[in-house]
A and B are shown apart, each in its own frame.
Chain A
Amino acid sequence: MRRRLLYILLSLNLLCAVGFTSPGATAPPGKPKVVEVVVREFEIVPKEIAVKPGEVLFVVRNTGAIEHDFAIEDAAAKSVARIAVIPPGKQEELRVALRPGLYTVLCTLPGHKDAGMKGMLNVQDSSS
């Protein structure tokens, strides 16, 4: 039973690691939903993220060889929140309260977005 529980926990962790979070997984009050993201030359993994409205903690690891950043922009390309710099091999966190809507996650360093470092962040209630 304990092994089975461990397996389930590991599986959930793996799902978070690949970053596609289920809209049905509601974060308990006070505890933000954790989304793990990898940034590297020149992509953001996962490319699509779905979360419920509310507090989200993005744990962003730079597995590339050069510096990157991580930003969230709304549909009007206005900056919502960002991590200013993530050195190569390092991990930074970003805690943000998100309202329903479609957002873009991207690296804003020169040329990185156009080279592929962008993804979609869908914030919606599971019922909608």
Chain B
Amino acid sequence: MEGSDLKDEQTYFLTRTDEWIWKKARELGISRRRFLGLLAAGAITAAGGSLLQKPRPGTAAPAPSELVVKPTPPDLFYDFGSNKEMRWEVMTNRGYVVPNELFFVRNHTRTPRIDVSTWRLRVEGTGVSQPLEFTYDDILNMPAVSVVRYVECAGNGRSFFERAYGKRASGTQWKLGAIGVAEWTGVPLRELLERAGLKRTARDVMPEGLDDLRVRRPMSVAKALEPDTLVVFAMNGQILPPDHGFPVRILVPGWIGVSNIKWVGRIEVSEQPLYSPWNTDSYVLIGPDYKSQPPAKGPILTYQNIKSALELPWDGEIPAGRRLVRGRSWSPFGKIVKVEVSLDHGATWQLATIRDPNAARTWARWDFLWDAKPGFYAIRVRATDEKGNTQPFRVPFNEQGYLYNAVVGHPITVK
């Protein structure tokens, strides 16, 4: 018989809540603490009942048919259906990383809702001697590291091809907000591959997502073994949100965004080169300046390139007067060493001041003082990294609109 303290309403409620938590955690095969963490992150709403669900005002739990899980209101994001672009002005006066709720979303279809109790990660293929299957707890109990890196869609900046060439490139018409920097926590992919008996003859590694299209894209074993190529389970100190790959995603720093496969359920390791539509038909350069490279339709993309963005509204208004204008630049090849700004259509350039931290494969913040007089401006920014890569003034057209990193005039009206 239960104790008389259950007469107290609060004690009764807390006791029942605790019982429910234990029951749900047991059903999912995870610890109570982990269950609570997942619940707090909204990662297992489908597994939970109504007992602990206290929706925040205006943020009802999304129906499975919705394309993304997190709220993406128009004052924070540009809406492209399953893709959501971060508005750069929301990063004004923020810290170094992009908070999870502001991070851009690039979904090839919709965010899948993964049941972590049945989820498994298989590592298999001709390139391993001992194929293995990992549970979520297996992953969480392995040695983990945290790194700060950017993830950027290969098509970030795609809309500027139309401005430059008068014709659109295929795909989401991003401006420059398909990028984000986060602290990613996860297990080095090397650890999983070695446990599965990675062969010396292995050549390619291909993570595969559990989304509708089974998005998959290979990388070299050399890239897979880099210390910051991770099987990520946490983002900015929180359990990886559903829209960003829960339960795990791959982090492939420096490489194009699609390499960072979300919702991974399988990793194929092969002694033969691997191909998928994501490195033969798409994420290749097709255009008059590029030749086909069978079986791919054009040069296959790997690394991103150097770019910059201003923390200002696009084609917005700001009041006249002296102000500090901020922005960020990033390069996969090294630290940013120089950022130049032009307020007169490129006739003259001034140096912006770069702020710490400033490291490779993430971004550098910078700012400059501007005594803004009324008028219309197209602010141009040009960054250079420590390897000597500088943003160009022209990028050859490619049909799928990748790697647009030319200097862009950011329109702004001063009133």
Indicate, yes or no, whether A interacts with B: yes
CB atoms of B213 and A67 under 8 A apart:
no
CB atoms of B171 and A87 under 8 A apart:
no
A: number of interface residues (CB 8 Å): 22
Q: How far is the CB of A69 from chain B (nearest CB, A)?
A: 5
Nearest residue (CB) in A for B400 is: A108
Query: Which of these binds chain B: A12-20, A26-34, A78-86?
Result: A78-86
Q: Are A66 and B169 also in contact (CB < 8 A) when A110-B282, A113-B281, A115-B213 are?
A: no
Q: Are A66 and B170 also in contact (CB < 8 A) when A110-B281, A111-B213, A115-B213 are?
A: no
> How far does the alpha carbon of A79 sit from the alpha carbon of B172 in the complex, in Å?
19
> How far does the alpha carbon of A112 sit from the alpha carbon of B297 in the complex, in Å?
16
CB atoms of A84 and B278 under 8 A apart:
no
CB atoms of B258 and A110 under 8 A apart:
yes
**Which residues of A lie under 8 Å from residue B172 when comparing CB positions?**
67, 85
**Option from A69, A71, A88, A110 in Cβ contact (under 8 Å) with B81:** A88
> At the interface, yes or no: A109 with Cβ under 8 Å from chain B?
yes
A: residues with CB less than 8 A from B are 41-42, 65-67, 69, 71, 77, 79, 82, 84-85, 87-88, 108-115
> How far does the alpha carbon of A115 sit from the alpha carbon of B212 in the complex, in Å?
9
CB atoms of A69 and B170 under 8 A apart:
yes
**Which residues of B lie under 8 Å from residue A108 when comparing CB positions?**
170, 281-282, 399-400
Sorting the interface of chain B by its residue count into under 10, 10 to 19, 20 to 34 or 35 or more gives 20 to 34
**Option from B109, B171, B283 in Cβ contact (under 8 Å) with A69:** B171
SS class, residues of chain B in contact with chain A? loop
> At the interface, yes or no: B173 with Cβ under 8 Å from chain A?
yes
CB atoms of B108 and A67 under 8 A apart:
no
SS class, residues of chain A in contact with chain B? loop
Could you pull out 24 A-B pairs where Cβ atoms are within 8 angstroms?
A65-B110, A66-B107, A66-B110, A67-B80, A67-B82, A67-B83, A67-B171, A67-B172, A82-B170, A84-B168, A84-B170, A84-B171, A85-B171, A108-B400, A109-B170, A109-B282, A110-B215, A110-B277, A110-B282, A111-B213, A111-B215, A111-B278, A114-B213, A114-B277
Q: How far is the CB of A17 from chain B (nearest CB, A)?
A: 24
Instruction: Count A-B pairs with CB separation below 8 Å.
Output: 73
CB atoms of A66 and B67 under 8 A apart:
yes
Q: How far is the CB of B281 from chain A (nearest CB, A)?
A: 7
Nearest residue (CB) in B for A71 is: B170
**Which residues of B lie under 8 Å from residue A109 when comparing CB positions?**
108, 170-171, 282
CB atoms of B81 and A111 under 8 A apart:
no
**Which residues of B lie under 8 Å from residue A84 when comparing CB positions?**
167-171, 401
B271-295 near A? 1/0 per residue, CB < 8 Å: 0000001100111001000000000
> How far does the alpha carbon of A85 sit from the alpha carbon of B399 in the complex, in Å?
11
> How far does the alpha carbon of A45 sit from the alpha carbon of B172 in the complex, in Å?
22
CB atoms of A111 and B170 under 8 A apart:
no
**Which residues of B lie under 8 Å from residue A82 when comparing CB positions?**
170, 399
CB atoms of A110 and B82 under 8 A apart:
no
> How far does the alpha carbon of A84 sit from the alpha carbon of B167 in the complex, in Å?
9
> How far does the alpha carbon of A42 sit from the alpha carbon of B172 in the complex, in Å?
17
Q: How far is the CB of A51 from chain B (nearest CB, A)?
A: 23
B37-63 near A? 1/0 per residue, CB < 8 Å: 000000000000000000000000000
